[in-house]
């Protein structure tokens, strides 16, 4: 996506539109690069004809007037990219669009949420991940993909962070959970029928490594013992409060097998978009 609002359609974005936008950035990945290739790979599977564009609630994304794919951001390097992401999402937020972002690594979540929190007061976050991503700094960077939720929470503009699927936390991360008063549901404690109280406006951040590697081999950090695809879908589909934005991050096409993980990411895309579109129809914003 280039910088022209007229050409991207941002200037003409109708309120409540679900705006899909690619954020191909992985410069702050700590272990291996690759997630920058994810938006193109997810779109390729989404449109390859192997499946349709219906969400399970019956909403068809194909030609839906409330769904708009804006393509990918063209980003500079380093901290300039963080600023560019924030600026682009701020334009969407000001138009009251519902943002659905395709990362990229988890570093992209901070500028996205930072932009949305300026418009949506009292924002809550539901965070699916194998890792808490709460380091103050990691590998010398405060913008590492291991740090976004520390950056988000230190702004004081997010009311609550709920994390699901976490496993393998170290002592430092546990102290960070306590410091920031995070509701962290570790995978060892997760049950499908456990109640998770959420309130809107809500942002969903979905790191693909929340899934067990059997369901999502195409991630940089394999953490066995994770969630099943249906676990994530069931929780997303149970949400009753208004969802103002979401991201799908940390898919690494370089590690995928037969595009299996891309297909799961595309499924999550359809379900998140379908719920947001359903909420648009009902005025649930």
Compute the radius of gyration of the chain from its Cα atoms: 17
Q: DSSP strand E in 136-178: where?
A: 158-166
The tokens 């297909």 sit on which residue? 263
Token code pair at residue 87: 């600026």
Task: Say which residues have a Cβ less than 8 Å from residue 206's Cβ, sequence separation at least 6.
Answer: 128, 232, 246, 247, 248, 249, 268, 272
β-bridge mates for residue 99, sequence order: 19, 245
Specify the DSSP element, H or E, that contains 133: none
| 114 labelled ligand-binding | no
| 193 labelled ligand-binding | no
| 106 labelled ligand-binding | yes
Residues 153 and 140: their CA atoms lie apart, in Å, by 19
| 129 labelled ligand-binding | yes
Q: How many residues does the chain have?
A: 285
C-beta separation of 242 from 206 below 8 A: no
Burial status of residue 224 (CB atoms within 10 A of its CB: 0-12, 13-18, 19 or more): exposed
Binding site members: 106, 129, 131, 133, 207, 209
Annotated binding site for Mn(2+): 106, 129, 131, 133, 207, 209
């Amino acid at each position: 996506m280039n910088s022209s609002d007229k050409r991207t359609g941002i200037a003409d974005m109708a309120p409540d539109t679900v705006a899909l936008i690619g954020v191909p950035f992985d410069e702050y990945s700590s272990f291996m690069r690759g997630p920058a290739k994810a938006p193109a790979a997810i779109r390729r599977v989404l449109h390859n004809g192997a499946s349709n564009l219906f969400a399970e609630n019956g909403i068809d994304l194909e030609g839906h007037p409330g769904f708009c794919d804006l393509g990918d951001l063209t980003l500079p390097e380093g901290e300039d990219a963080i600023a560019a992401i924030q600026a682009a999402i701020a334009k969407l937020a000001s138009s009251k669009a519902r943002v659905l972002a395709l990362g990229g690594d988890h570093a992209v979540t901070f500028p996205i949420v930072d932009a949305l929190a300026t418009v949506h007061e009292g924002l809550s976050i539901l965070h699916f991940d194998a890792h808490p991503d709460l380091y103050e700094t990691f590998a010398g960077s405060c913008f590492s993909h291991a740090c976004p939720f520390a950056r988000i929470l230190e702004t004081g503009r997010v009311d609550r962070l709920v994390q699901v699927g976490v496993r393998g936390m170290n002592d430092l991360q546990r102290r960070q959970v306590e410091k920031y008063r995070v509701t962290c549901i570790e995978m060892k404690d997760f049950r499908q029928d456990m109640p998770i109280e959420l309130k809107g406006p809500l942002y969903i951040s979905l790191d693909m490594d929340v899934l067990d590697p059997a369901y999502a081999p195409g991630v940089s950090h394999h953490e066995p013992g994770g969630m099943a695809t249906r676990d994530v879908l069931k929780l997303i589909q149970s949400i009753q409060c208004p969802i103002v934005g979401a991201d799908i991050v940390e898919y690494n096409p370089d590690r995928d097998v037969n595009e299996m993980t891309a297909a799961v990411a595309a499924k999550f895309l359809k379900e998140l978009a379908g719920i947001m579109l359903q909420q648009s129809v009902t005025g649930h914003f």
